[in-house]
Amino acid sequence: MLKRLIDNHFKLAEHRTDVKTEVIAGITTFLTMAYIIFVNPSILSQTGMDYGAVFVATCLAAAVGCLIMGLWANYPIAQAPGMGLNAFFTYGVVLGMGYTWEAALGAVFFSGFIFFLLSVFRIREWIINSIPLSLRLGIAAGIGLFLAMIALKNAGIVVANEATFVSLGDLTEPSALYALLGFFAITAMAYLRVTGAVMIGILGVTALAMVLGHNEFGGLMSMPPSIAPTLMALDLAGAFDVAMLSVIFAFLFVDLFDTSGTLVGVAHKGGLLDENGKLPRIGRAMMADSGASMAGAVLGTSTTTSYVESTAGIVSGGRTGLTAVVVAGLFLISLFFSPLAGSIPSYATAGALLYVAVLMAGSLSHADWDDPTEAAPVLIAALAMPLTFSIAEGIALGFISFAAIKALSGRFKDLNPAVIVLALLFAAKFLFLS
């Protein structure tokens, strides 16, 4: 009876799969993305948020997103707080711009709500099609470089220098050595297609540091920590500040393109696109993503988004939402491993951040480097993010440079109203609100 209900709901026979295959696919996907339960609390706790509460919020937000995606949209696509956006939340919005983490959560909620409205009224495709490919590539690469800078800084590999702004740190320090070892190991395992390479790298470096006396073991399992310090702590009024508009836009913009790109890419890999190359039920998938972001903000974590690591489960045979439901169950089980998460040092996650940066920076290879009017905005957006330590500023400078260069080159046909309006708004912000 149960098997029949599962088959009817997820349409397993129609997708030529079965329960066993979907469960294996879910476990595979979880292993490739489980690193977020260690990395996310490590990053967000630097804002003053309670580490244990963020750990619980991370697992719950991921479970909520996966359940909505699996049960409602019926796609084998997992969700969790996104890399890059969590770093922007901490280093850009809170530590950089001086906002409270409560106000930053409010901005995450508003961005998720706007994303939800765009999905309901089907405006998302118009926005996606309005933004030039070169800007999308530059933004994706910029987020990768931003993560790389954070990883190198946290590991002490790059340090401040009064004369040159930055310089090479002391590579004989344990933090630098462990971070580099983790990065090398993760990259090698990823090349060898080892499932869960990132998580294995993080845990391996943590264990080695414990053996060598550079880290302490805090335990393996316990009851989940209290989520009270972050639950419903978001400050919606604080997010209404005028300067916060660019932050909300950055959260929205990055999540919109990250989600749309991931959904189409993963669906293509699994043969889930229709005869016209489009993704059926994309509206439901987008609303699942935006709904999870709003839920995550209420729980106490940064923007939740679809994970490209879902491809690992697709390759393992996952074709329906049952895969995502399995991932949700594993995130809920992870709630009982908070002592292990608390034992992970920042240098153990630095190697993982650096590896994710490599993946994201790969979008630069798709830019048209033979056309300077396309290449220049890509480079401006990509470099601005790590050098200004802000995804929002990188997006703004990317739009301004694209519009200005195209206009001065007489390439007005490459400009559309959305790009022109956004470029003018960003320019006005720099001129009058900075």
DSSP reduced 3-state for 168 = strand
Structure tokens at 122: 């089907």
Other C-beta atoms lying within 10 Å of the C-beta of residue 364: 19
Residues 252-279 have a mean pLDDT of: 76
| Amino acid identity, position 431 | L
Q: Return the number of other C-beta atoms located less than 10 Å from residue 132's C-beta.
A: 22
Predicted confidence at residue 5, as pLDDT, reads: 85
Smallest Cα–Cα separation from 282: which of 302, 259, 251? 259
Average pLDDT over residues 340-364: 87
Per residue in 387-404, pLDDT (tens digit) is 988 888 888 899 999 999
Nearest to 139 by CA among 306, 427, 380, 419: 380
Q: Which residues, in sequence order, are CB contacts of 268 under 8 Å at separation 6+?
A: none
How many CB atoms lie under 10 A from the CB of residue 71?
Answer: 16
Using DSSP, state whether 44 is helix, strand or coil: helix
% of the chain with per-residue pLDDT over 90 = 50
pLDDT of amino acid 143? 83
Q: What confidence category does residue 268 fall into, taking pLDDT thresholds of 50, 70 and 90?
A: confident
What's residue 199's pLDDT? 86
Mean per-residue pLDDT, 351-361: 87
- The mean pLDDT of 252-260, rounded to a whole number, is 82
Given this model, what pLDDT does residue 80 score?
Answer: 95
**Beta-strand runs (E) in 127-274:** 158-161, 165-168
Residue 304: its H or E element: strand 304-306
User: Does the structure show a pLDDT above 80 at 273?
Assistant: no
pLDDT at 13: 84
Beta bridge pairs of residue 167: 159
- Write the pLDDT tens digit of every residue in 95-149: 998 999 999 999 999 999 999 998 888 787 777 677 788 888 888 888 889 889 9
**DSSP reduced 3-state for 167:** strand
Question: What per-residue confidence (pLDDT) applies to 1?
Answer: 67
Q: How far is CA 431 from the centre of its chain?
A: 30
Residues 6+ apart with CB under 8 A from 295: 61, 64, 65, 304
Encoded amino acid at 234, one letter: L
Q: Which of 61-70, 245-254, 325-334 has the lowest mean pLDDT?
A: 245-254
Q: In the predicted model, what is the mean pLDDT of residues 351-373?
A: 89
Query: Is the distance from CB of 299 to CB of 230 less than 8 angstroms?
Result: yes
pLDDT band (50, 70, 90) for residue 429: confident
Task: Give the model's pLDDT for residue 304.
Answer: 95
Distance (Å, rounded) from C-alpha 74 to C-alpha 19? 14
Strand duo 304-306 + 79-81: pairing: antiparallel
Query: Do the beta carbons of residue 132 and residue 264 sit within 8 Å?
Result: no
Q: How far apart are CA 434 and CA 389, in angstroms?
A: 16
**pLDDT score, position 315:** 78
Kindly report, residue by residue over 312-336, the tens digit of the pLDDT: 888 788 899 999 999 999 999 999 9
Tell me what pLDDT residue 277 has.
65
Q: Where on the phi/psi map is residue 241: left (φ > 0), alpha (ψ -120 to 50), or beta?
A: beta
Alpha carbons 2 and 7: distance in angstroms, whole number: 9
Question: pLDDT tens across 170-215, in order?
Answer: 999 999 999 999 999 999 999 998 888 888 999 999 999 999 999 8
With CA atoms as reference, report the closest residue to 232 among 109, 88, 78, 119.
109
pLDDT for 87 beyond 70: yes
Mean of the per-residue pLDDT values of the chain: 89
Beta strands in 340-422 (DSSP E): none
Q: Report how far residue 91's alpha carbon sits from residue 43's, in angstroms, rounded to the nearest whole number.
A: 9
Question: Half-sphere exposure of 91 toward its Cβ, with a 13 Å CA cutoff?
Answer: 26
- What average pLDDT does range 413-429 have in this prediction? 89
Strands 158-161 and 165-168: antiparallel
Banded pLDDT at 308 (limits 50, 70, 90): confident
- Dihedral angle over CA of 45, 47, 49, 55, nearest 10: -30
- State the pLDDT at residue 264: 72
Q: Residue 408: is its pLDDT beyond 90?
A: yes
In the 8-state DSSP scheme, what is residue 59? H
Q: How confident is the model at residue 11 (pLDDT cuts 50, 70, 90)?
A: confident
Contacts of 41 (CB under 8 A, 6+ apart): 51, 52, 54, 55, 58, 341
Q: Assign 162 a pLDDT band (cuts: 50, 70, 90).
A: confident
Instruction: Give CA–CA dist 76/260, Å, rounded.
Output: 15
Phi and psi for 402 in degrees, rounded to 5?
-65, -50
Please say if the pLDDT value at position 252 is more than 70: yes
Q: What is the pLDDT of residue 375?
A: 94
Scan for tokens 């906002």, then name that residue. Answer: 99
Reported as half-sphere exposure (CB side, CA atoms, 13 A), residue 256 has a value of: 27
d(CA 221, CA 216): 15
Instruction: Please give the C-alpha separations between residue 20 and each of 23, 24, 326, 366, in angstroms, as whole numbers.
Output: 5, 6, 11, 38
When pLDDT is averaged across residues 27-45 and rounded to a whole number, the result is 92
Q: What percent of the chain has pLDDT over 70?
A: 98
Nearest to 69 by CA among 314, 300, 291, 251: 291
